[in-house]
Structure 1
Amino acid sequence: MKRPSESGSIDNRSTESSSPPGSASRRVEIEPWDIINSTNDLIFVHDWEGQILEVNRASCEVLGYTQDELLRLRLEDIDTPEHAADIPNRMNEIKRKRHHVFESSHRRKDGASIPVEVSAKLLTYNDKEFVIGIARDMTDRKNAARLLADSEWRFRSAFESSFLGTALVSPQGYFIDVNSAFCSMLGFSKTELVGLHFETVTFPADVELSREILRELVEGKIQDAQFEKRYQHKNGSHVWTEVSVALTRDSGGNPGYFIAQIHNINERKLVEAEKSQIHAQLIHSAKLASIGTLAAGVAHEINNPLTIIQGNIEFLRDYLSQMESPGQALQLLEKQEKGVRRIATIVNGLRTYARPDTDYIASVDLHKIIGDTVSLVGNIYLKSGIDLKFEMKSSYPFVKGSVGKIQQITMNLLSNAKDAIEKTETGGMIRIETEDASDSVILRVSDNGCGIELRFMEKVFDAFYTTKPPGKGTGLGLSIVQSLVESMNAKIELDSQPGLGTTFTLKFQRASKMDAQADRTKASLDQSVRGRALVVDDETSIREILRGYLEELGLEVLEAEDGMTALELVSTHTFEYVVTDIKMPKMGGDKLLLAIKSLKSPSPKLIVITGGILSEYTREQREAIRSCANGFLNKPFSREALHKVITLPLEK
C-alpha cells in the first residue's frame, strides 16, 4: 500500500472529479490527505494484527508522537491496558459487521490517557483488508458529562436532604417528584404524591390563587413567585406554608417543569393568630375599661336623681297615708317605686361590672351577685327568646370570693350559653341555680343549646381556642373564666352533650358565719336616736331628703353644701352624726373626714354616702374612708338603709 504522501490517495485513485460535463469551471483540485490532515479527529489505518500503517496530523499532535514513531507502534501500544485487552473482540466485531463504533481510551506518549469514541470501518485495497479508524477526543464531552452528573448529584442531594419541602410539578399541575420533607409535611408517602395533581392536596380556598400564579409563570408575566397557601394534610387538617416557585424552560423556551420550595409556617401562623387575638383582646379590654369608666360616671350621675326620686316617693307615701282613701294613688306610687328600684338595680349592676378587678377575697353574697347580674341582662335575653331562670336553693349563700370576678364569670357563662342556644332552632332556656354542699356552695349554669362535642371538651378552657365562626369570639372567654375561678380557690367542671346542652358547675368555698356576720346584721327601725346631725352634699334636693329621713329619727339637722362649710359648722357646733358625700367642690368628703377626726375627740359618727364606687377614688380618698367612716351607703338609698346605719353600734 502506498502512503498518501506518494500517491495522494489511500486507494491510489485519480483525483479527477467525476463531475458531470460543464462543471469543470467549479472543480477545486485538493489532495485527499490534505483534507484528512485538516480534521481534529484522530485517523488511523491498521491491519488485522493491529500494526499502524498510516496516521493523520491530529493523531500525532494529540498523542505527542511523531508520524514515524506512531508507524512503528501497534494498537495495544496506544490503548490503555484495560482497553487494549479488548482489541481482539473489537476486531471480530469489525470483521462481522464491517463497521463498529465503540468507546476506548488512548495513551499519550507522556502517559496521560485520552477518552475517545472510535468509528472503525473495513476497507479493501489490492485484495488486502485494512481498517480505518476515526477517533474523536471525548475529553470535553466526558468532562461535561461528569460535571452534569455532579450537578445532578448535588441537586438530588439538596433535593432530598433539604428541610424545606421541595416538589417538581409538570406544566399540567402533576407532581413529578417530591422530597421526604414535603411528604412528612402532608403525611403522604412519595408513592402517593407522585402523579397526583397539586390541587388534590391544596386547601380549597387557596386553589384559585395557586392556579393564577402558575398561569402567570407559564405566560412569562413573572419569573418567580412567593406566596402563602394552605395544603390539606392526610389527616384532614390544613398546613400553612410559604411557597417559592419558578418555572424551568428548555433551550427553545418551552415550559419544562415547576420547581417549588415549601416552608411550613404553621407555628408562625399560630403565633400571628395569638398576637392578633391578644391585640384584639387588648383593644376589647381598653373598650371595656372606657365603658367601665363611663358606666361608673353615669352611675354616679344617675344615682343622685334616683336618691331624690326615692326620697320623695317615701315622703309622698307618708303624706298619702294620712288621707282617707289614697288607695289608687298609693298603688301608682308603688309602681313608680318599683321602677326606681329597677333602675337602681341596673345602675348598681353596671357599677359593679365597672369595678376594677383585685385579688382581694372576702365574704360575698352569691345570691345578691347573681341576682344583680340577672337583673342587668335578663330583659336582653328575654327579647332574644331566651328564658333566664334563677333558682336560689342555697340556704347560706355567703362564699369566699370577689364580687367583680364572680359577676364577670357569670356574664361570660351566660354569653356562651346564649351563643349556643342561638345555633339551635328551638326556644332556649338558661337555668342558674345554687345549692349547698358539705363545705361549699354550688353554682350551676345550664343551657339547652347545641352542646359541645367530646373531642372539643378538653380544649374549651385553652386560650384562643374557639368553636365559634371567625369574628364571633376571641377564644379567651372560658380561659378567663377558669383563671378567675382558680384565683378564688374555687373549682369549675363541664358537662355537655351534643344537641342537648351544656352545664358548668362551680364550687365556691363557703364563708364562715363570723365572716358574713357584718353583712347580715339587722337593725330595728323603731329604735329612736337623739342629738344633732350634719348633712353635707352639694345637691340641695339630696340634703332635703336626708334631713327628712334624719328628722324622722328625732335628730336635729343642719346642712352644708361643701366640706369647707361643714368644717366651719363642726368647729362651732357639737354633732353626734355627720352624713357626707365624697365628691364636692371646695373640700371633698375625704378631707372633711380626716379634719373632723383630728379636731374632735371623740368624733361624731361619720357616715359616707356616694353614687360612685370605692375603686374609682384615689388611694388617699379610699384610705380616708376606711380609716374614718363608721358607715357607708350607696346612692340611691332608702329610709330603711339610712336608719339602719344610723342606729347600728358605733363600731365600723
Structure 2
Amino acid sequence: MRRFSKVSEHRFEFSDIIPMAFDDIKILEKFNGYSKASAYITSLLLKKEDVREVLAEVLEILGRASGSSCSYWFERHVGASESIFMKQSAEWHAEGIDPQFGNSWLQNLADRDSYPRWHKKLSTGRIILGCASNFSDEERAILEAKGIKCILIIPIVIRGNFEGFFGFDNCVSNELWRDIEVNLLCSVVGCLAKAFENEKCQKDKIGIQEQLQYLQKMESVGELASGVFHNLRNILAGIITNSQFVSMKYKDNYDIHNNIDNIINQANSGCDLIDDLLQYSLKGTKKEKSIFNLSEVLQETYQIISGIFDKKIEIKKQWPELLLIEGDRPQLSQVFINIFTNARDSMIDGGLLQIEAGEEGDRIAVIVSDTGYGIEEENLKRIFDPFFTTKDAGKGTGLGLSTVRNILEDHHCEIKIHSKPGLGTSFEIYFPLSKTQELSEERILPQVISGKGHKILIVDDDKTFLGPMEEALRKIGYKTESADSGDSSIEKYIACRPDVVLMDRNMPGMGGLTICKHILSLDPEAKIVIVSGYDEEDPDGVNGKIKSLIKDYIVKPFNIAEISQILAKVMEK
C-alpha cells in the first residue's frame, strides 16, 4: 500500500515523458521482434520441421527486429574436389536495399582464402562486429563497395565444427547493435544451430540405417558369393581331375602332358583367386604369412593400374629389385590397389602419381604421392572411418581405406598421411623388415602314394568329377565304387564294405553329413573323409560331434597326389 501511495503522490508533466516514451517504444519493438524470432525458432525445434524451409521468414523477422538493412545465411559446403567453400543460402533485405542473393561470387566463397582473419575468428566461435571504418583497408574496401556501414556476423557451430554463419548489415547509419541486442541475436542463432544439429542427427540416423541395410545386403551377397565359390571349386575340381586322368593315361606323350600341365596350372590359379577372394571377404581360412618380395607386388599392381588408369595421369615408380617382407601377399596387393585408386580419383583432370619404395633403417618404406585436390584437415582425422567418404552417392562405399588400415595393422605397419587442399596427398607406409632374408619356398606338390588294392567308395553327385576320380584312383592301385545319391551310397556301403569313404559334403536330398551319420550308425569303425568346396572352418564346413567321427577333410579341387596322401594316412589309422 505504501508503494502505491508513493506513485500516486508523484506528479508527472506530459512533456517530460514524451521523449522517453518514444525511445522506449522503439526498444520494446526491437525486443518484441527478438522474442518473436526466438519463440518461432523454439517452436521449430519442438515440431522438428525442416529448418531450411522457413529460414527466409526467420531472416526477415531477425532483420526487422534488429533494424538491419539486410540479413543472410551462409552455409559451409564441400566441393567435388574436397575444396571447402561458403555459399549464400538465404537472404532478406529491406526496401531500397539491392539484393545480393543472385550474386555468383557469393555462391562460392573460398572458406579460408577470401577472409582469412574472419575465418580464424568465426571458426573458433567468435563474432565479427564493427563499422566499416574499423576494418583493414582490404576488408573496408569490400564492405564500402557494397554500401555496408556496419556489420555483425555470428558463426554457426555444430558439434564443435564451424558450419556457416548468419550476417546482419547496416547500410543506413554507423550505429552498431547494442550488447544486449548482440546477445539476443547470438541466442537466436544458437537456437538455429540446435535445430540444424537435430536435423543432422536425423540424417545421421537415416545414414546409419542405410549403412546397416548395406551391411545386411553385403552379408547376403557374401553368402551368395560363398555358394558361387563352392560351385566354382567343384567345376575346377572336375577340370583338374579330368586333366590329371588324361595326363596319367598319356604320360608318355610329351605334347599332351605339357598341355595338360598348363590346364592344371591355370585351374590352380583359379583356386588361388577363389582363396584370395574368400580371405578378402573374411569368409576364408586365415592364411599363414610368408616371406615374399614386395617389389614384385608393387610391379604387379603397377602393371594393373598402368593399363586401366586414364592416360592423363602420369605414373612414376622407383624401387629396388628385392624388398623382403613377411605378410599376406594378396592382402597387400589389395592395399596398394585401394591407395592407387584413391589417388586416381583425386586427379580428375590428370596429374602425377609417384610410387617409391626402399629400405630405411630397420624398415621398408613405401611412399605413394599424388598431385590431386588433397584432403581437408578436418577430413584427415576421419578417412579411415568405415563408411566415411566425400564422394558422391553411389561412387564410393567408404570402406576402401578402412580395409587398408585393418590390413596394415595386421601387418604391424605404420601409416602416415600428409595432405593439403590443392597440393595433393602422400601416403607413407612403413613395413618391418623380414627377420629372415630368404624367400618362402614355393609349395612342393606331394608325391603320389600308390594304393594296395583297398576299396574306396566315392560319393558325389557331380558326374564330371565322379568318373575321372574313380579312374584316377584305379590307376594308382585302388579298387573303387561310386554313388551319386544318399540311398545308393548306403546300399553300396552295406554291399561292399569299403576301407574308406570319400563323401561330398553337399549332396542333394539327404546331405553328406546325414549320410555319414547313417553309415556310422551301421559301422562305428567306418573311415570317412569329407570332400567339399567349402573350407572346414566355414559355416558350411564340419563342426560338432560329426567332426570328431570323420577321419579327415579335404577341400576341392585337389590333385591325385594330395588325395593319395590322405588315403594312405587314413589307412594307417
Same-fold status (TM-score > 0.5) = yes
- 1:234 aligned residue: 119
- 1:384 aligned residue: 308
- 2:533 aligned residue: 611
Once the two structures are TM-superposed, the CA of residue 297 in structure 1 deviates from its matched residue by 2.2
SS in 2 for 1:264: helix
* Aligned partner letter, 1:234: H
Once the two structures are TM-superposed, the CA of residue 460 in structure 1 deviates from its matched residue by 3.5
- 1:294 aligned residue: 224
Corresponding residue to 2:500 among 552, 566, 577: 577
1:264 equivalent to 2:193? Answer yes
1:151 equivalent to 2:151? Answer no
Corresponding residue to 1:210 among 90, 95, 111: 90
Once the two structures are TM-superposed, the CA of residue 367 in structure 1 deviates from its matched residue by 6.8
* Aligned partner letter, 1:567: I
Once the two structures are TM-superposed, the CA of residue 558 in structure 1 deviates from its matched residue by 0.9
1:364 equivalent to 2:293? Answer no
Preserved CA contact (<8 Å) 1:292 1:355: no
- 1:340 aligned residue: 267
CA distance in 2, matches of 1:316, 1:148: 105
| Mapping of residues 242-321 of structure 1, within 5 Å | 261-262=188-189, 263-265=192-194, 267-268=197-198, 271-272=201-202, 274-321=204-251
- 1:349 aligned residue: 276
- 2:523 aligned residue: 600
1:642 equivalent to 2:573? Answer no
Once the two structures are TM-superposed, the CA of residue 561 in structure 1 deviates from its matched residue by 1.1
Greater Cα shift, 642-651 or 311-320? 642-651
Corresponding residue to 2:467 among 544, 566, 574: 544
- 1:502 aligned residue: 427
* Aligned partner letter, 1:627: S
Distance 1:433 1:146, change over 3 A: closer
Once the two structures are TM-superposed, the CA of residue 533 in structure 1 deviates from its matched residue by 0.8
Once the two structures are TM-superposed, the CA of residue 538 in structure 1 deviates from its matched residue by 0.9
* Aligned partner letter, 1:384: I
Once the two structures are TM-superposed, the CA of residue 364 in structure 1 deviates from its matched residue by 2.4
Preserved CA contact (<8 Å) 2:271 2:557: yes
CA distance in 2, matches of 1:594, 1:585: 16
Preserved CA contact (<8 Å) 1:317 1:330: yes
Once the two structures are TM-superposed, the CA of residue 384 in structure 1 deviates from its matched residue by 1.6
Preserved CA contact (<8 Å) 1:346 1:376: no
Distance 1:284 1:308, change over 3 A: same
Once the two structures are TM-superposed, the CA of residue 647 in structure 1 deviates from its matched residue by 3.0
- The one-character-per-residue Cα deviations of 1:1-57 (angstroms, maximum 9, x if unpaired) are xxxxxxxxxxxxxxxxxxxxxxxxxxxxxxxxxxxxxxxxxxxxxxxxxxxxxxxxx
- 1:115 aligned residue: 12
SS in 2 for 1:637: coil
Corresponding residue to 2:480 among 540, 552, 557: 557
Q: Which structure 1 segments of 5+ residues have no match?
A: 1-107, 119-137, 179-193, 220-229, 246-258, 399-405, 511-515
* Aligned partner letter, 1:582: R
CA distance in 2, matches of 1:396, 1:462: 26
Once the two structures are TM-superposed, the CA of residue 535 in structure 1 deviates from its matched residue by 0.3
Preserved CA contact (<8 Å) 1:351 1:612: no
Distance 1:319 1:521, change over 3 A: closer
Distance 1:375 1:302, change over 3 A: farther
What RMSD, in angstroms, separates the aligned Cα atoms of the two structures? 5.9
CA distance in 1, matches of 2:511, 2:385: 47
| Mapping of residues 416-431 of structure 1, within 5 Å | 416-424=339-347, 425=350
Once the two structures are TM-superposed, the CA of residue 589 in structure 1 deviates from its matched residue by 1.3
CA distance in 1, matches of 2:258, 2:64: 84
Distance 1:354 1:568, change over 3 A: farther
1:322 equivalent to 2:207? Answer no
SS in 2 for 1:115: coil
- The one-character-per-residue Cα deviations of 1:126-157 (angstroms, maximum 9, x if unpaired) are xxxxxxxxxxxx88x69966973883696599
CA distance in 2, matches of 1:170, 1:308: 74
Distance 1:419 1:207, change over 3 A: closer
Residues paired across the two proteins, number: 453
- 1:531 aligned residue: 454
Preserved CA contact (<8 Å) 2:448 2:560: no
Distance 1:467 1:491, change over 3 A: farther
Once the two structures are TM-superposed, the CA of residue 302 in structure 1 deviates from its matched residue by 2.6
CA distance in 1, matches of 2:59, 2:524: 97
SS in 2 for 1:291: helix
Preserved CA contact (<8 Å) 1:344 1:636: yes
CA distance in 2, matches of 1:379, 1:634: 32
Preserved CA contact (<8 Å) 1:170 1:176: no
* Highest RCO, 1 vs 2 (Cα 8 Å, sep ≥ 6): 2
Once the two structures are TM-superposed, the CA of residue 542 in structure 1 deviates from its matched residue by 1.1
* Aligned partner letter, 1:318: M
SS in 2 for 1:310: helix
Distance 1:453 1:271, change over 3 A: same
SS in 2 for 1:533: strand
Distance 1:363 1:332, change over 3 A: closer
- 2:489 aligned residue: 566
Once the two structures are TM-superposed, the CA of residue 300 in structure 1 deviates from its matched residue by 2.4
* Aligned partner letter, 1:538: D
CA distance in 1, matches of 2:380, 2:290: 27
- The one-character-per-residue Cα deviations of 1:241-292 (angstroms, maximum 9, x if unpaired) are 79899xxxxxxxxxxxxx9843114644654554354334334323322322
- 2:134 aligned residue: none
**Greater radius of gyration (CA):** 1
* Aligned partner letter, 2:13: V
SS in 1 for 2:288: strand
Distance 1:300 1:522, change over 3 A: closer
CA distance in 2, matches of 1:544, 1:117: 118
Preserved CA contact (<8 Å) 1:293 1:354: no
SS in 2 for 1:210: strand
CA distance in 1, matches of 2:342, 2:399: 15
Preserved CA contact (<8 Å) 1:303 1:611: yes
Once the two structures are TM-superposed, the CA of residue 581 in structure 1 deviates from its matched residue by 0.5
* Aligned partner letter, 2:489: A
* Aligned partner letter, 2:498: F
Preserved CA contact (<8 Å) 1:536 1:562: yes
